[in-house]
Structure formats: C-alpha cells, structure tokens
Structure 1
Amino acid sequence: MTRKFCPDEYPVTLFIDGNELATFQLTKADLDDWAIGYLYSEGIINGPSDLKRLTIDEDHGRILVEMNNEFDAEEFSQKQKTFTAGCGKGVTFFSMTDVKKFPKITTNRTVNLSYLLKKRHEFAQNSPLYLETGGMHGACIVDSDGNIIVREDIGRHNAVDKVLGYAVREGLDPKSLILLTTGRVSYEMLSKAARFGIGLIGTRTAATKQAVQLANFLQIEVVGYIRGKMATVYTSQGKVLNDVSKVAGERP
C-alpha cells in the first residue's frame, strides 16, 4: 500500500484573554474541538458556557479564547507542570494526587467484549488521516446507540482532547460513552476521561501501571490491546463482559 501524504505538524499558539499560554504541535483539523477539550481537560473551563468567544486564526497559527469570567494568567502560570510521557513534551497541570480527588465514576453501563472489538474495527475504518498517512493517532467516542465520533492528530493527547472537546461542546452524557484511543493510556490520558466522567476506556495498545491504579481507584474500566479477537482487561470494575474465548485474563 502506497500512502501519498505525510502526517501534518502545525504549530498553534493558544491565547486566553490576550495571554499567551503555550504553543502546541497539532494536526490542522478540528482545532475548535481541541481547544475546548484541552481547556476542559486542564480545568480551565467547566463547559462551553465559560467561553465568550473562540477564534481559530489558521493564517497566523493562533487560537484566541475569550473567557466570560476573568482568567488569572499569573496564578495559572504558577501551577506545577507535569511533562507527559511520549508524543513530545506534553504538559498537564493535574498531578496524580489531583486526579485522585476527581469524583469516582458511577455508571451502570456494561458491554460485551465482542462489542468493543467491533467498535475498535469501525474506529480504524473511519480514521481517514491515518489511512492517508499511516502516521496519525486517533480517539473515538461510542455513544449508547453505537454511533461513533472520531478525531485524529499526530499526538495521542491531542486526539483525545479533540474528541472530548466535541463531547463537551455537544453536551453529551459521559456516563453513556466509551472512549477508544490508538495511543497508550498513561495517567494523564486516564485523567482526561476521568475529568469528563467516562467510565470505560479502550486502546489498541497498553495502559501504564499508574493509569490502571488510578482507574481502579476512580472505578474506571480499562481494556488494552484490542486487536482482532484479543484484548487485555486491566481492571475489574465489571463493565466489560467476556464473551470472546481468546481474551487475555484480567490483570491486577
């Protein structure tokens, strides 16, 4: 298979009320969703109503955010930064201790493992940037009716922020959603889903020990290596029913 395109890296500087927050390397797609998802994931906003205006200035590589309430840039800059694992030097302002203070996830939704495998396949088939370049991460939410929404980016964190931004913007009920990602689920990736209130996360690759510990604490189910007829259930929250014979056993 010959791919005609290379993955896109696009530097974008995020401004909040005229204050430069940082410059991020993104893929030039769904930047409005990314901005909302990032701001929400980092606790800067609690929902779209906190935003007065969001402007995407692609010509100058800027995203301009105006808040309804005053943003204290100096106070925010003093928050402790944690550099994330992989995908360049991503930064989160939530530590493991901070995330443990999030509300525990209460949802009664359960799914069969075969359903996750099916949705992971649909996700892969509906990732056009990956199919074009072979070098993209993706994130996908699955609603209670089985509908999927996919967002893609060169960074796994960015892709998750994009799809969560869509969910926040549309006011979706997090308890009804499943989050699927192509990237490793590390603690900061887990924290993004936990902040929104999603109780089930699946990935085609691994989850870190810290993410699994945090997931068990917050009552989130984490399933890794969702490929073909195989998967690894890392947690024991009872949200995934094993109806597939070739599934790896649960891990502590």
Structure 2
Amino acid sequence: MPTSQPETIFPTPQDARLTRTVTGIDQTGAPTVLPVIEERPLTIFLNGQEIVTAMTIGDYPEYLALGFLRNQGMLRDDDEVTGVDYDEDIDTVVVRTARQTGYEEKVKKKTRTSGCAVGTVFGDMMEGLEGLRLPPAELRTSWLYALARQINTMPSLYLTAGAIHGTVLCERDRPLIYMEDVGRHNAVDKIAGWMFTRSARTDDKILYTTGRLTSEMVIKTALMGIPVLASRSGFTAWGVEIAQQVGLTLIGRLRGQRFVCLSGAERVIFDADPTAMPTEDPAHRRKAANRD
C-alpha cells in the first residue's frame, strides 16, 4: 500500500566504493589528485532470461534492476516478485516473478537513446503512452525554488567528483529519494524500483533531474505516473512534444530565480515572487563546473 511518509535516501559521497582517487597533472604540469567515479557492469536477468548489461556506479542494484524492468514494461504493477537476488561477485541481479515471462522478441529490438552512458530502450519507445493522460496535480513555484536550492547544494557525488547525473523524487518542496549514476536513465530506474517495492503514490510527486529533458526522460516519467518533471537543464523538441501529448508539466532551466515551462502550465500556481528568491550561488556553479 502507498505510504504517506516514505523513507529518505540521499547521496553518500563518502562511500569509498563509489569513487577512486587518481593522480595526474593539471594545465600547468603540476601534480593533482582527483576523486573519479567508479563504473562497473551490472547484468539483469528476469527469471531465466538475460535482459541487459548496464554500466552503473554499483549502488542500489536491486532497485536499478526492478526499475529498469518496470520502465521497459517487462515488470507489471500487479506482478508478484518472488525474489530479487544480487550476486556482487559476478555483478548480476536476478528478478524472479510468479508470472512466467518471455521477452525474447522484445529484447531483439533495441533503441539507443540520447542519455549519457547510452541508455537502451527495448521495443517501441512509445509503447504504453497511447491514451495515457497524467492526473491533475498542483505545482507551486515556491516548491520549485525550494527544491532547486536544496538539491543543488546537497552533498553529492556530482559535487565531489562530477561525471555523474542525479534524479530526485520529491513531494511538494521536500526531496525524498536522491539517486545518482553515470547515466540519468539509471538514476530514474533506481527511483522507479524503489517506488515499485513500496507501491508508492505517484500523482503527488515531482521528478527532478540534473540532465536534459529528452524524450527518454519524459517517457520514463510519464510511464511512472508522475505528473511533473523539472530540470536545471534544457529541452529537446521531441521531449516537449511527448510531454504535451500525455499532459506532463515540463519545467526546464530551473536556476536561481528563473525557469521555463513548455508543457502543462495549467498546473503551475505562482505563489512566490521570483525577484525575492536568491540567485544561484556563483561559488556553487564554479565548483560544479570544475567537476564535470
């Protein structure tokens, strides 16, 4: 059953498994030491069938596997999951269901997406969107500004080492689940897996991403049933088109006092004066830029 006060998960940049210290030189030839993101393969099985091998930072493998299968339409909301087994020695997750599955033909048809670290979508990318219309929801601009301030200054792997994307599940002005990975599609799938395990309510949620608002991000958000997607980055035309088709509120370029809404503006309630909001801290921007 849905929970009204779900647990919170935030980044753990201090986790030694997620980064490695590397020595090099800078532009002047001086020695420099940097933390860099670890990257490792994770192979996902559904029952007896190998589905995909994804490159990931290695945290929350069970959530990643469940969310990937859920967002690919291979795992249904009403499926009974009888087991999720992660073997760290061989970097493999096996998801078992009571329902007999067989996706050999679907797995043969792949679409390489525009996501960083090259995401993969099996079958028809638009499958499941026909007739989909996201539920009514309320989005206050005060929530957007509050979320941007909290998320952009929260300790994270991005601020520590860069080369990584983050996705945050939010409720009103409160971040709930903050996942990071080398590809934003992986970060979204981890959130989808967390939500699946808890039958979490979706119609009152906001999804925030540090990456571009592409067709893949819009489709994943829509299929998860979340009515609002926001980012500090920009849009792609197809992403906007799909958002308008399914009634997704799409907020981009959310930085400091500014944002742009290109879909679903009817949900937006302007309850905060932008000029009264603090501008984005230049020190934060420089720190983030130096880690990309």
TM exceeding 0.5: yes
- Pick aligned residue for 2:224 from 192, 196, 210: 196
Distance in 1 (CA, whole Å) between partners of 2:125 and 2:175 is 32
Gap change, CA 1:127 and 1:72, over 3 Å in 2: farther
Gap change, CA 1:127 and 1:198, over 3 Å in 2: farther
Q: Across the two proteins, how many residue pairs are aligned to each other? A: 244
Q: Does 1:81 align with 2:96?
A: no
Instruction: Name the stretch that deviates more: 171-180 or 237-246.
Output: 237-246
- Pick aligned residue for 1:55 from 76, 85, 103: 85
Assess if the C-alpha contact under 8 Å between 1:137 and 1:183 holds in 2. yes
Corresponding residue number in structure 1 for 2:135: 106
Deviations 1:183-226 (A, max 9, x none): 11111111111111111000110121111111111111000011
Secondary structure at the residue paired with 1:54? strand
Task: Return the offset for 1:99.
Answer: 4.7
Secondary structure at the residue paired with 1:12? strand
Corresponding residue number in structure 2 for 1:250: none
Distance in 2 (CA, whole Å) between partners of 1:186 and 1:221 is 14
Corresponding residue number in structure 1 for 2:145: 117
Corresponding residue number in structure 2 for 1:6: 36
Distance in 2 (CA, whole Å) between partners of 1:166 and 1:96 is 22
Secondary structure at the residue paired with 1:103? coil
Secondary structure at the residue paired with 2:82? strand
Corresponding residue number in structure 2 for 1:68: 98
Task: Return the offset for 1:240.
Answer: 1.9
Higher helix proportion: 1
Query: In structure 2, what residue type is equivalent to 1:123?
Result: I
Corresponding residue number in structure 2 for 1:46: 76
Secondary structure at the residue paired with 2:35? coil
Percent identity of equivalent pairs: 28
Distance in 2 (CA, whole Å) between partners of 1:185 and 1:159 is 14
Structure 2: any 5+ residue segments left out of the alignment? Answer: 1-31, 278-292
Secondary structure at the residue paired with 1:59? coil
Distance in 2 (CA, whole Å) between partners of 1:76 and 1:246 is 51
Secondary structure at the residue paired with 2:233? coil
Gap change, CA 1:88 and 1:146, over 3 Å in 2: closer
Task: Return the offset for 1:128.
Answer: 2.2
Gap change, CA 1:28 and 1:48, over 3 Å in 2: farther
Assess if the C-alpha contact under 8 Å between 1:123 and 1:148 holds in 2. no
Instruction: Name the stretch that deviates more: 97-106 or 209-218.
Output: 97-106
Task: Return the offset for 1:6.
Answer: 0.7
Task: Return the offset for 1:94.
Answer: 5.2
Secondary structure at the residue paired with 1:131? helix
Instruction: Name the stretch that deviates more: 201-210 or 45-54.
Output: 45-54
Q: CA RMSD in A?
A: 2.3
Q: Does 1:159 align with 2:193?
A: no
Query: In structure 1, what residue type is equivalent to 2:233?
Result: T
Query: In structure 2, what residue type is equivalent to 1:103?
Result: L
Secondary structure at the residue paired with 2:266? coil
Alignment of 1:143-154 (within 5 A): 143-144=171-172, 146-154=174-182
Assess if the C-alpha contact under 8 Å between 1:12 and 1:25 holds in 2. yes
Q: Which runs of 4+ in 1 moved over 4 A?
A: none
Distance in 2 (CA, whole Å) between partners of 1:3 and 1:102 is 53
Corresponding residue number in structure 2 for 1:37: 67
